[in-house]
Amino acid sequence: MKKITIAIDGFSSTGKSTLAKQLAKELEYVYVDTGAMYRAVAFYAMQNKLIGADFFDKKSLVDSLPKIQLEFKFNADLGFGEMYLNDENVEKQIRTIEVSNFVSKVAEVSEVRSKLVEQQQEMGKNKAIVMDGRDIGTVVFPDAELKIFMTASAETRAQRRFDELQQKGDNVSYEEVLKNVVERDHIDTHREDSPLVIANDAIEIDNSYLTREEQFSAVLELINDVVKTV
């Protein structure tokens, strides 16, 4: 079967990573969670006191970019690669609501986006890759054979994210998560550099009322149709 590039974009907490992992496992493709890369940079900024509730030292973060080494290391038990920041596994730390509160602000910085997009494009040069994020079909892989854009209501996404954080033992409220979702939507869609938009040739999927299995089957059918034509 011919190998293709699958770009999955969409709003936060639409299940992009879950779908991408399912597809990569089924197709035996490489999976890349670009959101984890931006989260890792945000976590670095937090660790080094470059960002906080009322400040953001963008210049120092940009100056620090050469010191930030990102790598996905495959975990056979999990079936996907975990995010390493400067050789430290930060997969759990980057999934907190605290990091979520800052990641969109960090992703607005053009120098950060430039550095990570370059890495992402290098990862996908041989195709056979499923990559999810905010600008995969528009910036990273504008020539991807299949582009998916995922959406759902803010309330639905907040509930999913809240349930996920509760299961992990995080002490957060639904209202706090909903506020974060709405704020991230605004930042992601209004930033000057590579705002979140649906590519002209992307297929939009509203999964507000779809199960994971229904969504997976629908997208797998789309992939099979695309592979027949390339």
pLDDT at 19: 96
**Which residues touch 83 (CB under 8 Å, ≥6 apart)?**
33, 36, 37, 39, 40, 70, 71, 72, 89, 90, 91, 94
| Distances 57 to 53, 61, 147, 206 between C-alpha atoms, Å | 12, 6, 35, 37
pLDDT digits (tens, 9 = 90+) for 52-107: 999 999 999 999 999 999 999 888 888 888 999 999 999 999 999 999 999 999 99
CB atoms within 10 A of CB 209: 9
pTM of the predicted protein model: 0.86
Alpha helices in the chain (DSSP H): 16-27, 34-47, 58-64, 97-107, 110-123, 154-167, 174-190, 212-229
Nearest to 144 by CA among 125, 170, 163, 164: 125
pLDDT at 77: 85
Q: Are 147 and 7 in contact (CB under 8 A)?
A: yes
d(CA 143, CA 6): 10
d(CA 51, CA 31): 29
Eight-state DSSP code of residue 194: S
Terminal-residue alpha carbon distance, the chain: 10
- Token look-up 């590579």 returns 194
Q: Are 223 and 229 in contact (CB under 8 A)?
A: no
CB atoms within 10 A of CB 177: 24
Nearest to 161 by CA among 138, 137, 140, 185: 185
Task: Give every residue of the chain whose pLDDT is below 70, as ranges.
Answer: none
d(CA 72, CA 82): 5
